[in-house]
Amino acid sequence: MVTPKQSTLAQLGLRAQGGREAQISHLTIDSREVRDGTLFAALPGTRVHGGEFIQYALRMGVSAILTDAEGAAIAADVLQGSDVALVLAEDVSATLAQTAALWFGRQPETMVAVTGTNGKTSVASFARQIWIALGHKAVNLGTTGVEGAWTHPLKHTTPDAITLQRALAEAAQAGVTHAAMEASSHGLDQRRLDGVMLAAAGFTNFTQDHLDYHKTFEAYFAAKVGLFGRVLGDDGVAVVNLDDPKGAEIAALATARGQEVIGTGRSADARLRLTGQRFDATGQELAFTWQGRAHQVRLELIGGFQAQNVLVAAGLVIGAGEEPDAVFAALPELVTVRGRMELAARRDNGASVFVDYAHTPDAVATALSALRPHIMGRLIAIIGAGGDRDASKRPLMGAAAAEHADIVIVTDDNPRSEDPAQIRSEVMQGALNHGDATKVTEFGDRAEAILRGVDALQPGDALLVCGKGHETGQIVGDDVLPFDDVEQASVAVAALEGRL
């Protein structure tokens, strides 16, 4: 734990109206956590402005309030009769991020961040694995929590600024010197990582996601670009996958800011350039050049897109100061992130079962087509869709599975509050409308679906269990029942091979 302390507003770089001072012993963004000594940051929200809660914070004895003009205007009446220290900021979320960084006071000395629609967790984990192979005490931070030399659970991919800075300080206190973090578009938009000192920042790709929050593609892209335009300093290194259509735009922006650019991918402009890729049953051989010099490496990773992720991770670690040759020597040791194209089990006839977190139409298509070059036989897909989530993606996921797999088994994902049979029928409808109906079947019980899929495997075939990846529970109603795709795949193989 980081030791409790006291600071004045001045020590936190804040100036209250009328030059008022306050002793701060606690920071929060939630009025319900206010107590004596609290600095309450009243932030604009998606539902309501935090300024609405200033009245409650005052009643709870708040010591100082940090907000913007809108927040102060909302609370004008109650603020008038109060002598609380009021700090006004133009961009209150960015100010809070800087304040939280000063408050917690430490972060791992070398940090990198990665943004992009897909691949963030994979890149952050690969960067951490490379650092550890090079002898550093390193972590990755994001969707799967803080992992590596220090571990800690997280609720969000990019946690709010206070949670993030607390985790970074605790990691640094535990001796962690290197950290790779995921920068989600929500996190960037809400300035959650603006207090992080980055040596390098990476970009993987840009496809459709999160339009419920950002509303337009332009706004979604603008949020991602903030990593290079705002969070990464002019002296930072930008590592950009130039194979993505948006890569050139990011590289141009980085160059305009004076940042060093390491382009990755097949593009002729890439400094870390992929020149060849050959797939087999357990991985792939990569040929690439670094500043023109040729290298070859074997990756025990499934899926062509993993090469893109690995090159971005290698670029980030090089950008943060490591010797390129040492970085490349560490690549054969990389293991996949839990639940991302993870080899879960193998039948005695050699056929394999993989688990992947693909839970959108695009990811289902990408994951299935990425598996295809690794196998000789048929590709079997198990898919379902979560309840209480975007329903329009269900038939599209069914169609993507029917298009890219030879056999499709539709099953339950996390039904949550919805009727699982109804969700399955929407996925089925998409699969059935897409060509050959005889290759599509339905088993609601996920364990049974996995057993049937494994049973169908002949030599050379592969099964991809989509949707739940690293998850360890199935959400049915309000209950979370223990369920792990990787474990179920092993159990199914053991049962069918007579080893149970």
Ligand X SMILES: CC(=O)N[C@H]1[C@@H](OP(=O)(O)OP(=O)(O)OC[C@H]2O[C@@H](n3ccc(=O)[nH]c3=O)[C@H](O)[C@@H]2O)O[C@H](CO)[C@@H](O)[C@@H]1O[C@H](C)C(=O)N[C@@H](C)C(=O)N[C@H](CCC(=O)O)C(=O)O
Ligand Y SMILES: Nc1ncnc2c1ncn2[C@@H]1O[C@H](COP(=O)(O)OP(=O)(O)OP(=O)(O)O)[C@@H](O)[C@H]1O
Q: Binding-site residues for ATP, please?
A: 116-122
Query: What's the CA gap between 278 and 374, in Å, rounded?
Result: 9
Q: Does 128 bind Mg ion (CB under 5 A)?
A: no
Find the part of the chain contacting ligand Y (CB under 6 A) among 42-50, 120-128, 171-179, 477-485: 120-128
Report the residue from 366, 414, 488, 490 that binds ligand Y according to the rule CB under 6 A. 366
Q: Does 488 bind ligand Y (CB under 6 A)?
A: no
Report the residue from 108, 119, 283, 387 that binds ligand Y according to the rule CB under 6 A. 119
Site map for ligand Y, 332-361, x if CB under 6 A?
A: --------x---------------xxx---
Helices within 105-147 (DSSP H only): 120-133
* Cα torsion angle, 422, 423, 426, 427, sign: negative
Q: Does 389 bind ligand API (CB under 6 A)?
A: yes
Phi/psi zone of residue 294: left (φ > 0), alpha (ψ -120 to 50 degrees), beta?
beta
Amino acid identity of residue 346, one-letter, is R
Q: Does 187 bind ligand Y (CB under 6 A)?
A: no
57 close to 38: Cβ distance less than 8 angstroms: yes
Find the part of the chain contacting Mg ion (CB under 5 A) among 11-19, 30-38, 143-151, 318-326: 143-151
Q: Does 360 bind Mg ion (CB under 5 A)?
A: no
Least Å distance, CB 390 to ligand API, is 8
**CB closer to ligand API out of 413 and 442:** 413
Find the part of the chain contacting Mg ion (CB under 5 A) among 46-54, 134-142, 276-284, 397-405: 134-142
Q: Does 426 bind ligand Y (CB under 6 A)?
A: no
Report the residue from 120, 359, 393, 452 that binds ligand API according to the rule CB under 6 A. 359
Q: Does 467 bind ligand API (CB under 6 A)?
A: yes
Q: Does 122 bind ligand Y (CB under 6 A)?
A: yes
Query: What's the CA gap between 351 and 281, in Å, rounded?
Result: 9
**CB closer to ligand X out of 134 and 391:** 391
Q: Which residues of 129-139 are buried (b: 16+ CB within 10 A; e: fewer)?
A: bbbbbbebbbb
Least Å distance, CB 303 to ligand API, is 18
Provide the 8-state DSSP code for 291.
T
Number of residues that bind ligand Y (CB under 6 A): 21
Q: Does 340 bind Mg ion (CB under 5 A)?
A: no
Site map for ligand API, 97-126, x if CB under 6 A?
A: ------------------------------
Amino acid identity of residue 257, one-letter, is R
Q: Does 363 bind ligand Y (CB under 6 A)?
A: yes
Residue 204 interacting partner from ligand Y, ligand API, ligand X, none (CB closer than 5 to 8 Å by kind):
ligand Y
Least Å distance, CB 180 to ligand Y, is 12
Percent helix, strand and coil across the chain, each rounded to 5?
40, 25, 40
Number of residues that bind ligand API (CB under 6 A): 8
Q: Does 192 bind ligand Y (CB under 6 A)?
A: no
Query: What's the CA gap between 335 and 452, in Å, rounded?
Result: 28
Q: Does 308 bind ligand Y (CB under 6 A)?
A: yes
Residue 367 interacting partner from Mg ion, ligand X, ligand Y, none (CB closer than 5 to 8 Å by kind):
ligand Y
List Cβ neighbours of 49 (8 Å cut-off, separation of 6 or more): 42, 43, 70, 71, 74
Query: What's the CA gap between 176 and 485, in Å, rounded?
Result: 32
Side by side, which strands form the sheet with 110-115?
145-148, 138-142, 178-182, 110-115, 200-203, 237-241, 260-265, 272-279, 284-290, 293-299
Q: Does 305 bind ligand Y (CB under 6 A)?
A: yes
CA distance to 6, 27, 240, per residue, from 86 (Å) = 18, 14, 41
Q: Does 386 bind ligand API (CB under 6 A)?
A: yes
Provide the 8-state DSSP code for 263.
E
Q: Which residues of 96-124 are buried (b: 16+ CB within 10 A; e: fewer)?
A: bbbbbbebbeebbebbbbbbbbbbbbbbb
Query: What's the CA gap between 65 and 184, in Å, rounded?
Result: 27
Report the residue from 26, 49, 120, 224 that binds Mg ion according to the rule CB under 5 A. 120
Report the residue from 63, 99, 110, 118 that binds ligand Y according to the rule CB under 6 A. 118
By CB atoms closer than 10 A (0-12, 13-18, 19+), residue 481 is: exposed
Closest CA to 78 of 53, 56, 49, 55: 55
Q: Parallel, antiparallel, or unpaired: how do β-strands 440-442 and 407-410 relate?
A: parallel
Least Å distance, CB 488 to Mg ion, is 23
**CB closer to ligand Y out of 26 and 338:** 338
Least Å distance, CB 389 to ligand API, is 5
Q: Does 424 bind ligand Y (CB under 6 A)?
A: no
Closest CA to 469 of 307, 291, 336: 336
Q: Does 465 bind ligand Y (CB under 6 A)?
A: no
Please give the residue ranges that form the binding site for ligand API (CB under 6 A): 359, 386, 389, 413-414, 467-468, 471
Please give the residue ranges that form the binding site for Mg ion (CB under 5 A): 120-121, 142-143
Please give the residue ranges that form the binding site for ligand Y (CB under 6 A): 118-122, 143, 157, 182, 204-205, 305, 308-309, 340, 356-358, 363, 366-367, 469
